[in-house]
Amino acid sequence: MTQVWERVCELDALVPDRGAAALVGGHQVALFRLSDSGEVHAVDHLDPFSHANVIARGLVGSRKGVPTVASPMHKQSFDLRTGQCLDDPEVSLQVWPTRVTDGWLEILIEARSGAA
């Protein structure tokens, strides 16, 4: 299985605990760099409740040790690791794996079978 990683931005361009939006593989993605752990998370930018692309503007925090983002529209909180809505277990955001390579944030956009 060949993985396709897309280079998105320099890690230093992401302000800790603030969201940023990016177009990755044709999809709007919200990016978050956490100040306490240094982890970077990528989730849907589209709020499933309001259907507006606003998640990157959400408030970063935590709930019981789980890193979260709260939608700026209706304040539902989402687990940044899994995308699961903590206020409505039937709803979730898509999550993309991230990695940092040579100071650049990369997002896994697909995995392909066979040779590259």
Q: What does pLDDT average to over the chain?
A: 94
Gyration radius of the chain's alpha carbons: 14
pLDDT tens digits, one per residue of 40-85? 999 999 999 999 999 999 999 999 999 999 999 999 999 999 999 9
Of 42, 47, 52, 44, nearest in space to 11 by CA: 42
Exposure class string for 79-107: b at 16+ Cβ within 10 A, else e: bbeebbbbeeeeebbebbebeeeeeebbb
pLDDT confidence of residue 116:
42
pTM of the model: 0.91
The torsion region of residue 26 among left (phi > 0), alpha (psi -120 to 50) and beta comes to left
Pairwise CA distance, residues 44 & 108, whole Å:
14
pLDDT of residue 18 exceeding 50, the answer is yes
